[in-house]
Amino acid sequence: MTEAFIALGSNLGDARGQVLGAFDALDRLPHTRLLERSPLFLTPPWGVLDQPAFINAVGRIDTTLSPHDLLDALLGIERAAGRVRDGERWGPRTLDLDLLHMDGVVLSDDRLTLPHPRIADRAFVLLPLHAMAPGLLLPGQGRVADLLAAVDVAGCERLP
């Protein structure tokens, strides 16, 4: 089994319900077990600012899936939630799942880069990741706690 961290986000429809449903879908993936759910965070949009706030979280899983098979499974969960990938980046979405990190895996190809190359810039990823794994060392980026200390968390709020 390999430990992996998945970012979850939604800002359309029942965003909270979409994220909670995605946690359940992660736990149903073959050869995969959901180990932990982060708290939910309400975060301002990133990239395209003229859109609703996001609900964001991170899940920690154990899996025997390869990185690319896990990526394909995440894309399938997104499609099942109504996500249409139309080429627009950072816009509104029913569900967004990003493979952030797999223990012991450093990878960069035309489909996937691990660890995710923009973790260090994104409070909406670092806040929930820090809630679970502040000491996690992301190869080439640093420790989660140090990365979080360097980003602006204004407008981000942990939800009950």
Alpha-carbon distance values, 50 to 46, 68, 120, 129 (Å): 9, 32, 23, 25
Half-sphere exposure of 101 (CA within 13 A, CB side): 23
Name the residue with tokens 């990938």: 85
Does the annotation count 93 as an active-site position? yes
Name the residue with tokens 């979405």: 93
Does the annotation count 143 as an active-site position? no
In the set 27, 62, 69, 98, the catalytic residue is 98
Task: Note whether 144 and 129 are within 8 A (CB).
Answer: yes
In the set 37, 60, 96, 122, the catalytic residue is 96
Does the annotation count 158 as an active-site position? no
Does the annotation count 85 as an active-site position? no
Active site residues per annotation? 83, 93, 96, 98
